[in-house]
């Protein structure tokens, strides 16, 4: 998903903002609709042909256009954005009640407070501040969405790819939050783990994360997925007796992941991204033992 660049502070929807990437995205949109020219695409969407050509010139494809294409054709959202196939089985084609220009207008009319509420629900957030902290969006920007009944297509695309919720539900409020395919994955060799987002030193409920069962040790009694943004960890929240290793710690009310080495005299050597220090064992509180650290591929 390297082509996905969110610009939450800017009301312009620069969902894809590299010109080479824009051309490729437009070609995939044409392919999904089964057409070959930008003129045909403009007719499907009910917009002027020069609007389509301007996407290439200014280096951005509006998020709502990609959403419209995915809902109308059933094309995978991640494939439209990046050209990469998803690792999961393809979903059955979503049959939207309307198509083309009518769907385009419905998507644009589904903005404002309603779409913001669905984005928060998809992430498992209760406060707009939590969404702002995650995506780097100011509260003023979100207030503008509500005031102008604005549809933030770039954020909707990001949210759908990030959480796996139904794009049709997210964009229009129709249908179920999670489709039957996603709900049935529990029986297909995966396990749903509680997902927590580590934001500003606190764990925020983020819903569920589907993990291959082979990643989870049989001894893990309370496995969970903790998303720290740059890194993520699989943690057993049932283990709180500190030993050597990597741990989710509470230090003076602030949570983070640290490497621990036990020293004589009930002392600990604590190493983290921002500090290395020694302390007594009772100066920190262990919330869980990390058994796997996940890092993004460069």
Structural domain that includes position 49:
19-181
- DSSP-assigned states of every residue in 76-138: -HHHHHHSPPPSSPPPPPP--SS-HHHHHHHHHTT-THHHHHHHHHHHT-SSHHHHHHHHT--
Rounded to the nearest integer, the mean pLDDT of the chain is 81
Number of domains in the chain: 2
The order of strands in the sheet holding 245-251 is 202-212, 190-199, 223-227, 232-236, 285-294, 245-251, 254-263, 267-271, 276-280
In terms of domains, do 62 and 110 share one? yes
In terms of domains, do 167 and 213 share one? no
- Residue 146 has a CB neighbour count (10 Å cut-off) of 16
Contacts (Cβ under 8 Å, ≥6 apart) of 55: 22, 26, 61, 62
**CATH for 261:** 2.10.109.10
How confident is the model over 119-156, as pLDDT tens digits? 998 888 888 999 999 888 998 999 999 999 898 988 99
In terms of domains, do 205 and 177 share one? no
Answer whether residue 148 is part of any domain: yes
Residue 182 has pLDDT above 70, yes or no: no
- 62's enclosing H/E stretch is none
How confident is the model over 89-127, as pLDDT tens digits? 344 444 455 566 777 777 778 888 889 999 998 888 888
Give the separation between CA 208 and CA 20, rounded to whole angstroms: 35
Q: Is the CB of residue 115 less than 8 Å from the CB of residue 106?
A: no
Tokens 């054709």 found at: 73
Query: Please, which pLDDT band fits residue 218 given cuts at 50, 70 and 90?
Result: confident
Mean pLDDT on 161-184: 77
Residue 16 has pLDDT above 50, yes or no: no
Length of the chain: 298
The pTM of this model reads 0.52
């Amino acid at each position: 998903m390297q082509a996905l660049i969110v610009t939450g502070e800017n009301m312009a929807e620069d969902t894809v903002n590299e010109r080479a990437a824009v051309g490729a995205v437009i070609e995939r949109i044409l392919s999904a609709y089964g057409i070959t020219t930008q003129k045909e695409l403009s007719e499907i969407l009910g917009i002027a042909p020069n609007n389509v050509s301007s996407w290439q010139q200014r280096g951005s494809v509006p998020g709502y256009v990609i959403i419209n294409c995915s809902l109308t054709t059933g094309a995978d959202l991640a494939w439209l954005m990046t050209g990469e196939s998803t690792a999961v089985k393809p979903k059955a084609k979503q049959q939207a009640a309307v198509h083309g220009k009518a769907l385009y207008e419905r998507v644009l009319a589904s903005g404002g407070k309603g779409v913001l509420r669905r984005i928060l629900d998809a992430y498992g957030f209760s406060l707009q501040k939590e969404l702002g902290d995650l995506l780097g969006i100011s509260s003023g920007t979100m207030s503008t969405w509500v005031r102008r009944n604005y549809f933030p297509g770039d954020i909707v695309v990001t949210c759908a790819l990030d959480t796996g919720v139904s794009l049709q539900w997210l964009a229009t409020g129709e249908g179920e939050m999670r489709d039957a395919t996603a709900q049935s994955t529990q029986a297909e060799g995966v396990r749903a783990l509680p997902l927590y987002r580590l934001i500003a030193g606190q764990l925020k409920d983020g819903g569920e994360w589907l993990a291959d069962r082979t990643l989870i040790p049989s001894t893990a009694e309370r496995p969970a997925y903790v998303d720290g943004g740059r890194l993520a960890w699989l943690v057993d929240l049932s283990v709180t007796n500190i030993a050597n290793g990597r741990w989710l710690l509470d230090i003076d009310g602030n949570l983070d992941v640290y490497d621990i080495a036990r020293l004589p005299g009930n002392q600990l050597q604590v190493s983290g991204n921002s500090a290395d220090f020694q302390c007594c064992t009772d100066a920190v509180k262990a919330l869980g033992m990390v058994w796997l650290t996940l890092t993004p591929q460069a």
